[in-house]
Structure 1
Amino acid sequence: MTSGAGTLAERWRAVRPPVAGLHVDSAACSRQSFAVIDAATQHARHEAEVGGYVAAVAAAPALDAGRAAIGALTGLDSGDVVYTTGANNALDLLLSSWPAQRTVACLPGEYGPNLAVMAANGFDVHALPTDGAGRLDVDAAARQLAADRPSLVHLTTLASHRGVAQPMAALADVCRSLDLPLVIDAAQAFGHLDCAVTPSAIYSSSRKWVAGPRGVGFLAVRPDLAQRLRPRLPPPEWGLPSGVLERLEQGEANVAARVGYSVALGEYLAAGPAQVGERLAEVGAMTREALADVKGWRVVEAVDEPTAITTLQPVDGADPQQVRAHLIAERGIVTTYAETQRAPFEMALPVLRASPHVDVTEGELEEFAEALAAAT
């Protein structure tokens, strides 16, 4: 996104197609900019003109720029970054390459699909200690990890079912002091919170707060961890000369989506990560204040939680799935229905989630509150 007149919110909205209704669902999938859409389209056209593999070679500088941006935003190097099809794919690539004993420590509210990937790869899961809000208790975790060392520590910095920011930097310090590999799921945190904590590995998707295309993400692995990995494909016993990260990234790829992601990363950096983060914290507070008095719902997060994810629990029997469908059909308002499978060891009831981006207005949040009250 180029700099210019207007606030961050105004500039963010100006470079995107007009929204059909009201989009408060960026934690699921943000709205792409004209430049991102055009970049992916132009690459697809180039594939038709010169062939997909020739076009992929020509796109290498754009893809390298994307890797450099990811490196800068995670505290790693561009050479540590591989593109994936998304966050789940990244975690599966990493865990399936783990050569040693398979135990992992993570939060009790771990994302359900992540737990499924852990189970599929034979990992035994140990729960980390948390407080009453589901936030990691760093001191208790340090004691637990020192006494009972897992193979890996995994932290989902910002959950899918609750907008509570986890103490990522503090846990990174603990893991460094104990020489434990820390893997960070930044699917909701990347482009939202400061992720430059130099973990052993970090992964995310493109489509959320950075507002890239669907079907692309990244996995970044620090060299000391990468050298321990043994990717399944091709079989290690073949002794082929390709490196670990090259083997992790092999296979069919939607290069057009990766090019679009690189452009979205450039726009995010141009907007200013600190400024975007500050605005998203403001948006979260605005959203919770607007929804605080809607009858039939309880806002889960504290008003000053520094995230733009607001979770609404039904208190009088409302069905979040039906309410979401009604809001879309009748008002063009897009939210998320978060079922209990998102955090199967923590959630007792499904919730409704609102996650507007930096360009939301107070008037739109008032409209959302009114529509939610009517739908309930």
Structure 2
Amino acid sequence: MIADDWRAARSSAPPGHLDAAGYNIPSDRVHHAVVDHLRREREVGGHRAAPDLHPSRSALAALVGAGAGDVAFLESGTAAMAALLGGWRLPPGSRVGVGRTEYGSTLMLLHRLARLSGWKLLELPVDDDSRLDLDGLTSLLSDGLDLVALPHISSHRGVVQPAAAAGRLCHAAGVPLVLDVCQSLGHVDVGGAGATAYVGTSRKWLAGPRGVGFLIVPGLAEHDQDMDAAAPALGGHTWVHGDPSPLAGAARYETFEGPIAARVGLGVAVREHHDLGPAAIHARLAELGVAARRLLDGIGGWRAAEPLDEPSALVTLRPPPGADPEAAVENARSRAAQASLLVGAVPVGRAPADLPTPVLRISPSPGTRRETLDALARVLDH
């Protein structure tokens, strides 16, 4: 079973860990790969210890149907988004569709770029669950959009956006789609989204080390006329006849300096993900998310913020009516910690356009046992 295989690979993981959406538990093999590379750097120096990351790029790219040359490693999902959007050539007056569930730092970046570049940000229409309204997107596209930015699953709400359908609509309209997969890659199927670019991170559902983000731009050469050749300050350029020109593929976005050992660890984590079977992992996580919502919704007055049968393992709970939201969330998290349970708390600033109050976030990994969820239910029923 996938749950047993997951637990066996993480023999030292705490059993009460319910925060995969914040920082998942790397396997013992991933941990050893990071430590071994750090030891190698100490013995021979960083440059001589430089690893071959091509297999890691290939494994990561395969999850979205791309190639190794389409992958750039950066320091975080936020850094990857900034590298991508900061270099996108859109003329003044361009219209950019943005979801209300957008991550706070990305929203700030987009507003800053809009002020500097004269873009107009348009809110993508959603339903009562903040799920993208495809008819509304079709209308916006017909009125004229130049770019769409969408989080596949948000940090504060476990609703799975219809990324594949949105990708088809954007492709038909000739509009690039930037898909934030920080909370979805390794969690749900991303392969059919058909996005122009994917931005993600290591430390969440892929169970890699901290300090690694990535950018995947399938077939980047075909989109070069729409993207700035500018690359991060520490890498990405070569010089031809006195003029800067970009490196081929996604390498133009990659920083030369960085936590190389963590990039090695991410490669190991992604290959483990393939070995365990992405479809089996996705099914197990969906099962856990549904079980957690059905168990916890209504306990102690807490209510699930997404539909109970939503096929994701990112579960958010709104505080009981009449309680001070911030105090209720922090108190619940503290009591959970006393019971050796690690859960997350999401502040309003994480999604200022969509989150009216803080929420408690529960995000089990595939190896989570039912008794761990039962223990959390007892805590919340206090």
After TM superposition, the score normalised by the length of structure 2 is 0.90
Which consecutive unaligned segments of at least 5 residues does structure 2 have? none
Q: What residue number does 1:280 align with? A: 285
**Is the CA contact (8 Å cut-off) linking 1:181 and 1:225 kept in structure 2?**
no
CA deviation after TM superposition for structure 1 residue 242, in Å: 4.2
Q: What residue number does 2:329 align with? A: 320
Q: What residue number does 2:342 align with? A: 334
Q: What residue number does 2:113 align with? A: 121
Q: What residue number does 2:363 align with? A: 355
Q: What residue number does 1:295 align with? A: 300
Q: What residue number does 1:3 align with? A: none
The match for 1:183 among 178, 182, 189 is 178
CA distance in 1, matches of 2:330, 2:154: 19
CA deviation after TM superposition for structure 1 residue 90, in Å: 0.5
* 1:164 is the counterpart of 2:159: yes
The match for 2:30 among 29, 36, 47 is 36
Q: What residue number does 1:109 align with? A: 101
**Is the CA contact (8 Å cut-off) linking 1:36 and 1:212 kept in structure 2?**
yes
Amino acid at match of 1:109: T
Q: Secondary structure at the match of 2:178?
A: strand
* 1:209 is the counterpart of 2:209: no
**Is the CA contact (8 Å cut-off) linking 2:69 and 2:251 kept in structure 1?**
no
* 1:87 is the counterpart of 2:95: no
Q: What residue number does 1:4 align with? A: none
Q: Secondary structure at the match of 1:211?
A: coil
CA distance in 1, matches of 2:13, 2:25: 8
CA distance in 1, matches of 2:97, 2:292: 33
Amino acid at match of 1:38: H
CA deviation after TM superposition for structure 1 residue 103, in Å: 3.8
Which consecutive unaligned segments of at least 5 residues does structure 1 have? 1-6
- Please give the residue correspondences for 1:237-256 in structure 2 after superposition, counting only pairs within 5 Å: 239-243=243-247, 245-256=250-261
After alignment, is 288-297 or 220-229 more displaced?
220-229
The match for 2:142 among 146, 154, 157 is 146
CA deviation after TM superposition for structure 1 residue 91, in Å: 0.5
1:150-201 deviation digits (Å, cap 9, x = unpaired)? x211110101111000000000000110000110000001001111123110
After alignment, is 8-17 or 169-178 more displaced?
8-17
Amino acid at match of 2:279: A
The match for 2:49 among 44, 55, 79 is 55
CA distance in 2, matches of 1:291, 1:266: 33
Q: Secondary structure at the match of 1:359?
A: coil
The match for 1:304 among 305, 309, 330 is 309
Classify 1:272/1:249 alpha carbon distance in 2 versus 1 (closer, same or farther; 3 Å). Answer: same
Size of the aligned set, in residue pairs, is 362
**Is the CA contact (8 Å cut-off) linking 2:60 and 2:267 kept in structure 1?**
no
RMSD (Å), alpha carbons: 1.8
**Is the CA contact (8 Å cut-off) linking 1:200 and 1:221 kept in structure 2?**
yes
CA deviation after TM superposition for structure 1 residue 346, in Å: 1.5
The match for 1:137 among 117, 133, 149 is 133
CA deviation after TM superposition for structure 1 residue 263, in Å: 0.1
Classify 1:143/1:103 alpha carbon distance in 2 versus 1 (closer, same or farther; 3 Å). Answer: closer
**Is the CA contact (8 Å cut-off) linking 2:316 and 2:359 kept in structure 1?**
yes
Q: What residue number does 2:269 align with? A: 264
CA distance in 2, matches of 1:117, 1:348: 21
Amino acid at match of 2:368: V
1:270-304 deviation digits (Å, cap 9, x = unpaired)? 01011100111100111112212412211122222
CA distance in 2, matches of 1:246, 1:21: 39
Classify 1:295/1:43 alpha carbon distance in 2 versus 1 (closer, same or farther; 3 Å). Answer: same
**Is the CA contact (8 Å cut-off) linking 1:231 and 1:248 kept in structure 2?**
no
After alignment, is 164-173 or 285-294 more displaced?
285-294
1:332-365 deviation digits (Å, cap 9, x = unpaired)? 2111111111111121111101000111111111
**Is the CA contact (8 Å cut-off) linking 1:105 and 1:127 kept in structure 2?**
yes
CA deviation after TM superposition for structure 1 residue 95, in Å: 0.9
CA deviation after TM superposition for structure 1 residue 315, in Å: 2.2
Q: What residue number does 2:17 align with? A: 23
CA distance in 2, matches of 1:227, 1:42: 41
Classify 1:287/1:280 alpha carbon distance in 2 versus 1 (closer, same or farther; 3 Å). Answer: same
1:40-65 deviation digits (Å, cap 9, x = unpaired)? 11111110111101111xx11xx111
The match for 1:10 among 4, 8, 11 is 4
Q: Secondary structure at the match of 1:74?
A: coil
CA distance in 1, matches of 2:173, 2:244: 34
CA distance in 2, matches of 1:34, 1:176: 41
- Taking every aligned residue pair, what percent have the same amino acid on both sides? 35
**Is the CA contact (8 Å cut-off) linking 2:21 and 2:314 kept in structure 1?**
yes
* 1:220 is the counterpart of 2:216: yes
After alignment, is 35-44 or 363-372 more displaced?
363-372
Q: Secondary structure at the match of 1:54?
A: coil
Amino acid at match of 1:370: R
